[in-house]
A and B are shown apart, each in its own frame.
Chain A
């Protein structure tokens, strides 16, 4: 097998030593090869330790006490916000809202901005490749307001050309264009800055679902010019239960609060309440304090390696997997060619259901996702009910991809028809 370090530029040996779980074995006894990173990533020691350090030494609620612990917890919670703002290159920390995840962030925009700005007959434009978190909140908005949801289709190469985007924008004049910066199924990386420009030219606001982008490549909300952006902690080596909503300050300021409760108020009387200023206005209740501290540690970890370097590494692994899969007889890659993709490859094996593929790969220690990956409309459009998906991250190696490809090549043999006969039995 080939040495991995010089080929992608990342020192995967050193990186892997930071992730205790990668030293474990699958149930079959085979060493674990974790290729389900688009669903959720693993955590390095640094993140786990930052979180336990908080619980062990300075945990308290934030923004409430005057005591030492609360001051320290608040300082660290707000420092995490600062680190996150820098990670996205936001203009101000007031534009960074901590939410439960990407799903909660998008729902906040749909409920708050959507209910206040979208009315019957308005259009919300999405891509057919969106995952359900960026579809269902808009279906719900349509149920409340009577707005119309339209989907940009993919072409025969699984791509959405710029001219089709421009055409839909001019034809339907959407109030909002909400799209994933990268598809969790096709692996396609979309031109966020270009599409945002097109949308703004057509008078639409832009929400970018960066759940599959923020973990893998640099995000720059000011350069891209987006109005809203969301991502999840658990997909950037951080904890579950936390995500980020970025919103342009003028927009967030004008939006009504969504969840009500402690933390988001300025004052409360028997007659009513007045909302706190940003960002607390959108952070009702005790926030995910330790999760924010863990998220900061994750961002610092990724920064220490470099998002650009991570991206190049993943693209190389993704290309290797793509080419290897296409070379296997009876395997079809559901997604565009490597130059359009990051580290995600979805595929089908002719005659074998995705669940059986995944189950078999598990016996070889390889963890991949099987199913519809929360993109049912996309699967309907492509005409398959389920796919298998291998998604790489910074700790994966070319050797692991080779091992995965070898296991996929075995799948058809395992399930090949061999003229078996069902054995009769007495009832």
Chain B
């Protein structure tokens, strides 16, 4: 039912309340088609939340959009209750990719693993706000993709690679930083 509405046109007020300072409650949050660089987007770009690395990270991963060169790294510290105690990101790329990462990282602290896993791509686009064309949606979804994979990429301990199974290349999931290609992998052709 929900999915019959185009993702980019859906807006949820209850999920993401703006502070009264930045927007009066009466504010109609429909950006003009052209202005994806809304004020709050540029705010996050210029003053990102938790940009940098986290020494005490328990989980981390990174990813890129080879087509445009956007790159995002996510560090997470999960506590004993399976909640994100702290989240940081780093990276480079366009305004959309970096601002959306800041918004996402700000949102996930305190959330449980299950809550994050349930946080869908359409919800990520909603969180970002301005309507994006399909090509720019990829930029916006990069941090979301990396966050999801970081949950499965524990750091440290030797025991971790046991989850991964028998990998003849000796690449653990967390250590797998090989370049990613869209489309079929050249390695598959042999």
Which B residues are in CB contact (< 8 Å) with A370?
68
What is the CA–CA distance of A360 and B42 in the complex, to the nearest angstrom? 13
Given contacts A28-B34, A422-B48, contact A372 B69 (CB under 8 A): yes
Q: In the complex, what's the smallest C-beta–C-beta distance from B153 to chain A, in angstroms?
A: 23
CA distance A68 to B119 in the complex (A): 63
Q: In the bound complex, what is the Cα–Cα distance between A312 and B47 (angstroms)?
A: 48
Whether B186 lies near A27 (C-beta < 8 A) is no
Task: Give complex CA distance A139, B49 in Å.
Answer: 43
Band of interface residues on A = 20 to 34
Q: Provided the pairs A143-B189, A422-B102 are in contact, do residues A386 and B17 lie with their beta carbons within 8 angstroms?
A: no
* Interchain CB contact under 8 A, A423 and B22: yes
Q: How many Å from the CB of A27 to the closest CB on chain B?
A: 6
The verdict on B3 contacting chain A, using a C-beta distance below 8 Å, is: no
Determine the chain B residues whose CB is within 8 A of the CB of A139 once the complex forms: 186
Whether the Cβ atoms of A27 and B33 lie closer than 8 Å is yes
Q: What is the predominant secondary structure among interface residues of chain A facing chain B?
A: loop
Let me know if B117 is at the binding interface, CB within 8 A: no
The residue on B at minimum CB distance from A28 is B34
Contact B21 A363 (CB under 8 A): no
CB contact list, A356-375 vs B, under 8 A: 356, 359-360, 362-363, 370-372
Q: Let me know if B18 and A363 touch, CB within 8 A.
A: no
Quote the shortest CB–CB distance from B110 to chain A (angstroms). Answer: 7
Q: A353-B93, A371-B67, A371-B68 are in contact. Are A422 and B139 (CB under 8 A)?
A: no
Q: Evaluate contact between B18 and A386: CB separation under 8 angstroms.
A: no
Is A250's CB within 8 Å of the partner chain B? no
CB A35 to nearest CB in B, in angstroms, measures: 18
Given known contacts A420-B43, A422-B49, A426-B19, is B68 in contact with A354 (CB within 8 Å)?
yes
| Chain B minimum-CB-distance residue to A139 | B186
With A359-B136, A385-B69: A422-B34 Cβ-Cβ less than 8 Å:
no
With A and B bound together, what is the CA distance between A386 and B93 in angstroms?
9
Tell me the nearest residue of chain B to A26, going by C-beta. Answer: B34
Q: Is residue A424 contacting chain B, with contact meaning CB distance below 8 A?
A: yes
B66 at the interface (CB under 8 A from A): yes
Minimal beta-carbon separation of B52 from chain A (angstroms): 15
CB B89 to nearest CB in A, in angstroms, measures: 14
Binary flags per residue of B31-45, CB closer than 8 Å to A gives 1, else 0: 001111100101110
Give chain B residues whose Cβ lies under 8 Å from the Cβ of A426: 17, 19
On whether the beta carbons of B33 and A417 are closer than 8 Å, the reply is no
Q: From the candidates A359, A372, A425, A427, name the one contacting B67 in the complex (CB within 8 A).
A: A372
- The docked-state distance in angstroms from the alpha carbon of A89 to that of B93 is 46
Determine how close the nearest CB of chain B comes to the CB of A389; give it in whole angstroms: 13
Does A355 sit within 8 A of B, measured CB to CB? yes
Measured in the bound complex, the distance between the Cα atoms of B40 and A242 in whole Å is 46
Q: Which residues of A contact B189 (CB under 8 A)?
A: 143
Chain B 122-146 per-residue mask, 1 if CB under 8 angstroms from chain A, else 0? 0000000000000010010000000
- Report the nearest A residue to B102, measured CB to CB: A422
Q: Shortest distance in angstroms between A367's beta carbon and chain B's nearest beta carbon?
A: 13
Any B CB within 8 A of the CB of A414 = yes
Whether the pair A27, B34 counts as a contact (CB closer than 8 A) is yes
B107 at the interface (CB under 8 A from A): yes
Contact partner, B94, options A356, A362, A417, Cβ 8 Å = A356
Asked whether B113 is an interface residue with its Cβ less than 8 Å from the other chain, the reply is no
Residues of the B chain whose Cβ atoms lie less than 8 Å from the Cβ of A363: 34-35
B143 to chain A, nearest CB (A): 15
Contact of A386 among B22, B68, B96 (CB under 8 A): B68
Judging by beta carbons under 8 Å apart, are B66 and A376 in contact? yes
Select from chain B the residue with minimum beta-carbon distance to A384.
Answer: B69
A27-B34, A353-B68, A414-B37 given; A420·B47 CB < 8 A: yes
B27 shortest CB reach to chain A, Å = 13
- Minimum CB–CB distance from B8 to chain A (whole Å) comes to 14
Q: B160 within 8 Å of A by Cβ?
A: no
List of B residues within 8 angstroms of A55 by Cβ: none
Instruction: Given A355-B68, A371-B67, A425-B17, verify A418-B94 contact (CB < 8 Å).
Output: no
Measured in the bound complex, the distance between the Cα atoms of B96 and A266 in whole Å is: 57
Contact B68 A420 (CB under 8 A): no
Most buried by B among A355, A363, A370, A384: A355
Residues of B contacting A420 with CB < 8 Å? Answer: 42-43, 46-47
In the complex, residue of chain A having the shortest beta-carbon distance to the beta carbon of B21: A423
Give complex CA distance A137, B187 in Å.
15
Contact A425 B44 (CB under 8 A): no
* Closest CB pairs A-B (n = 7): A385-B69, A353-B94, A423-B22, A355-B94, A422-B47, A420-B46, A422-B43
For the complex with contacts A379-B69, A385-B69, A422-B44, 10 further pairs of A-B residues with Cβ separation under 8 Å are: A28-B33, A353-B93, A362-B34, A370-B68, A376-B66, A420-B43, A420-B46, A421-B43, A423-B21, A426-B19
User: Would you give 22 A-B contacts (Cβ < 8 Å), ordered by A?
Assistant: A27-B34, A28-B34, A143-B189, A353-B70, A353-B97, A354-B94, A356-B96, A363-B34, A370-B68, A372-B68, A376-B66, A415-B37, A420-B42, A420-B46, A421-B47, A422-B46, A422-B102, A423-B22, A423-B40, A423-B43, A425-B17, A426-B19
